[in-house]
Amino acid sequence: MDFDAHFRSELDQLKAEGNYRIFAELERRCGAFPRAANHTGEGLDEVTVWCSNDYLGMGQHPAVTGAMKDAIDTCGAGAGGTRNISGNNHHHLVLERELADLHGKDAALLFTSGYVSNWAALSTLGSRIPGAVILSDAGNHASMIEGIRHSRADKVIWRHNDWRDLDRKLKAVGDRPKIVAFESVYSMDGDIAPIREIVEVCEAHGAMSYIDEVHAVGMYGPRGGGVSEREGLADRIDLIEGTLGKAFGVVGGYITGSVALCDFIRSFASGFIFTTALPPAVAAAATASIRHLKASDAERLAQRDRVARLRARLDALGIPHMANDSHIIPVMIKDPVKCRMISDILMNDWGIYVQPINYPTVPKGTERLRITPSPLHTDADIDHLVTALAALWRHCAIAHAVA
């Protein structure tokens, strides 16, 4: 077989469909977020980033960068290995205690990313609990889907955010160990799960509740514990999973829960056992970020103000964006070629970076620009973005929203 010919054919098909992905070569500038340098091949252009998951700009916060620098000076760059062999570090344990406290749990366990924490935890639970069945929300992230698939446990898909459908399907499962996996904030549509109803259904059927809070930690709740903290439900959820790579501004993933649950995952999850640990400096930076956001609401309040202002400006011009109660603003294009073209024009002509979102991240026909305002976007930044979008809507003949 001519493997390269096959690879080229598959890539050509992606390009023909408009789903081939092109990544910008950006260089984040500490202290200048949301500005970044765009390496064009002909030099550097300054762009304003509107699609970062560093939702609160904590990746450049002095407390976070200072903690990382101090830890590098103290511990060096790397962890030295897997935590099972030579990479367990004091900074890891301090961070796990901080995370357990954030969610009101007895224990926490670190992973190298939010993807890995979902994959490892769900695959371990599903494979190591005899007779387990996992009931998964239809909108769950790829990391959850892969973890469930890898577990080889029986699975049941329930309609997105439909707790009544979940209730019916839990009844149908019968007297078996049941794990209900869902998210709080869904990253592409920005909708929020009816957590209270889901938890009550889980409790009624004796099911383990597993919530992914990756797009909510740092963002919601009086201390940034996520939507489950905001709703006063964290203590009723068995496992809360999150990330350090979004609102906390660093990298890594984690789970929190009972001591027995976290120790069980630690002892059996291949995604924990066989991978190099996070660098101590990353753990120290994440600890500093979490501690800051536990005490400070200023970043969250400013970010909500920016979201509300941008939504109001888009509404005034009839530019369609998906309604939701979160910080994520999906501006719907519904065509992969137009979505790519608009993204390119925004970057090249307006100095605005918004990466197009297309299949397989979202279903075909729902392509979009996913905009995430930060506390550091100014009124002038918002005006510039809205002016650019309005001009492109006319130029590209995209339908306006109907009032």
Catalytic residues: 246
| Cα distances (angstroms) measured from residue 133 to each of 50, 130, 175, 255, 351 | 40, 9, 10, 20, 49
Q: How many CB atoms lie within 10 A of CB 37?
A: 16
CB of 342 closer than 8 Å to CB of 369: yes
C-alpha–C-alpha distance, residues 195 and 163, integer Å:
9
Write the DSSP symbol of residue 325. Answer: S
Kindly provide the b/e burial profile for residues 52-88, where b requires at least 16 CB atoms within 10 angstroms of the residue's own CB: bbbbbbbbbbeebbebbeebbeebeeebbeebeeebe
Half-sphere exposure of residue 334, counting CA atoms within 13 Å on the CB side? 9
Residues with Cβ < 8 Å from 163, sequence gap 6 or more?
194, 197, 198, 200, 201
Sheet holding 329-332, edge to edge: 329-332, 368-371, 356-357
* Residue 239 host element (H or E): strand 239-243
Strand 133-137 versus strand 178-183 pairing type: parallel
CB 368 within 8 A of CB 331: yes
**Gap between the terminal Cα atoms of the chain:** 56
Closest by CA position to 255, among listed 111, 137, 142, 148:
111
